[in-house]
């Protein structure tokens, strides 16, 4: 499905850019946000792992559903973790730190919800096609 592949490429690119920016400038970000350097390095590395997995799925002709479920779950779990980090580090972080975590929750959580919607939509389409007697292996988007 074209829409699913595009969102995976965008999601992987966002993770890659975020990882590069966080790791390359973590001393600057630590001072700006008031957050510990180890946390920013952790976030940057997590973004690289996530981007690699998103690119892996996007590059495949037929993305396996289990991989997509893992990716969506990772997005939603990371958004939840960012919300927890916001609460835990709120006493020490600056307004920029609050903004960073809020953006993480909104962007990553929003992408997770969008990917979940697209995944459910393709499952519904597959069910309709199977009900109409068309085997999944004959479809062009698999």
Q: What pLDDT score does 140 carry?
A: 44
Q: What pLDDT score does 117 carry?
A: 85
Query: What parts of the chain have a pLDDT lower than 50?
Result: 1, 138-142
Q: What pLDDT score does 126 carry?
A: 59
Q: What pLDDT score does 120 carry?
A: 81
Is residue 29 within 8 A of residue 22, CB to CB? The reply is: yes
**Strand, coil or helix: 141:** coil
Domain boundaries, given as residue ranges, for the chain: 2-138
Per-residue b/e over 84-120, b at no fewer than 16 CB within 10 Å?
ebbeebeeebeeebeebbeebbebbbebbebbbebbe
Q: What pLDDT score does 24 carry?
A: 96
């Amino acid at each position: 499905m074209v829409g699913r592949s595009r969102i995976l490429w965008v999601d992987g690119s966002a993770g890659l850019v975020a990882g590069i920016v966080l790791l390359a400038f973590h001393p600057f970000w630590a001072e700006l946000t008031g957050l510990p350097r180890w946390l920013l390095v952790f976030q940057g590395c997590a973004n690289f792992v996530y981007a690699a997995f998103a690119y892996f799925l996007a590059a495949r002709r037929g993305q396996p559903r289990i991989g997509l479920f893992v990716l969506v779950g990772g997005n939603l779990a990371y958004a939840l973790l960012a919300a927890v980090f916001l609460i835990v580090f709120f006493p020490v972080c600056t307004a920029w730190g609050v903004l960073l975590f809020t953006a993480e929750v909104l962007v990553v959580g929003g992408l997770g919800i969008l990917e979940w919607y697209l995944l459910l939509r393709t499952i519904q389409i597959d069910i309709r096609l199977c009900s109409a007697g068309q085997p999944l292996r004959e479809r062009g988007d698999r």
